[in-house]
């Protein structure tokens, strides 16, 4: 009975850790959505909201990471449990970095929005589309984590190609603006930084998807070809 009790308590600790990580993921998803909306509208309210949320995101990362360390020391997990804890620890780091990118977008939004309106730089729709892809990648990566779905995680990794293509398209468009009207150079460069931040959100979502495959399959799929990632994800555990 004592062993069974300890086992149930351990399982509860792991589930609580996983739930808190997913809650942090939801907070970060909302933060990046608000940042993209702030970029599109120049809303000071949204900008302030994104910046304020960053404090909560940072605190969540510290607390979850500390709890991961305590569980490792206290429980000495092995096999699947250890992979789960490692995946959670790595994921919260990527989530915190997405929060950093969201804050960066928000802080630049008001100035960019005002200047772009004066200079007729029409790139907000493209940025929003790229942002939608990045948010979808993050949501699906977190869903794959929650359901331990390696196949869905592999499909998230494939989506990274789409957001890279969007970034290149935005870059070409803004280079055209700069060549046609030198007055747009400063603002266009700032918009490029926003587009790069969104691309980085996609990269972090891809990282989370890779951790899911590691957690479920026990295979490190970083830095290997997409076809091999999909083979590992769809193959036997």
Residue 221 phi/psi, 5-degree rounding, is: -105, 15
Note the pLDDT of residue 7.
Answer: 81
The pLDDT value recorded for residue 1 is: 42
Quote the pLDDT of residue 216: 93
**CB atoms < 10 A from the CB of 6, how many?**
11
The pLDDT assigned to 166 comes to: 92
Nearest to 140 by CA among 217, 96, 220, 205: 205
131: nearest Cα among 153, 106, 151 = 106
> In this predicted model, what pLDDT tens digit does every residue of 47-83 receive, in sequence order?
999 999 999 999 999 999 999 999 999 988 888 899 9
Which of 156, 120, 152, 150 has the alpha carbon at shortest distance from 136?
156
Q: What is the pLDDT of residue 117?
A: 58
Least confident span in 8-12, 22-26, 97-101: 8-12
pLDDT digits (tens, 9 = 90+) for 185-222: 888 899 899 999 999 999 999 999 999 999 999 888 88
State mean pLDDT over 95-122. Answer: 82
Contact status, residue 48 vs residue 116, Cβ threshold 8 Å: no
The gap between the terminal CA atoms of the chain, to the nearest Å, is 32
The total number of residues written for the chain in this structure: 237
């Amino acid at each position: 009975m004592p062993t069974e009790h300890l086992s149930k308590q351990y399982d509860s600790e792991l589930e609580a850790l996983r739930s808190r990580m997913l809650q942090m993921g939801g907070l970060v998803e909302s933060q990046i959505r608000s940042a993209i909306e702030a970029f599109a509208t120049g809303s000071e309210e949204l900008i302030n909201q994104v910046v304020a949320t960053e404090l909560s995101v940072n605190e969540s990362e510290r607390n979850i990471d500390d709890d991961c360390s305590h569980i490792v020391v206290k429980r000495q997990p092995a096999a699947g449990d250890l992979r789960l804890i490692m995946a959670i620890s790595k994921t919260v780091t990527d989530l915190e970095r997405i929060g950093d990118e969201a804050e960066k977008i928000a802080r630049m939004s008001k100035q960019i929005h005002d200047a772009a309106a004066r200079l007729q730089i029409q790139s907000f729709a493209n940025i929003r589309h790229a942002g939608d892809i990045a948010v979808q990648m993050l949501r699906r990566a977190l869903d794959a984590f929650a359901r331990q779905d390696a196949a869905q995680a592999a499909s998230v990794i494939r989506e990274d190609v789409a957001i890279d293509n969007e970034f290149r398209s935005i870059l070409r468009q803004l280079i055209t603006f700069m060549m046609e009207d030198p007055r747009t150079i400063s603002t266009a460069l700032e918009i490029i930084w926003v587009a790069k931040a969104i691309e980085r959100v996609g990269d972090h979502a891809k990282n989370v998807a890779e951790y899911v495959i590691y957690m479920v399959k026990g295979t490190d799929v970083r830095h290997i070809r997409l076809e091999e990632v999909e083979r590992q994800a769809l193959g036997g555990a």
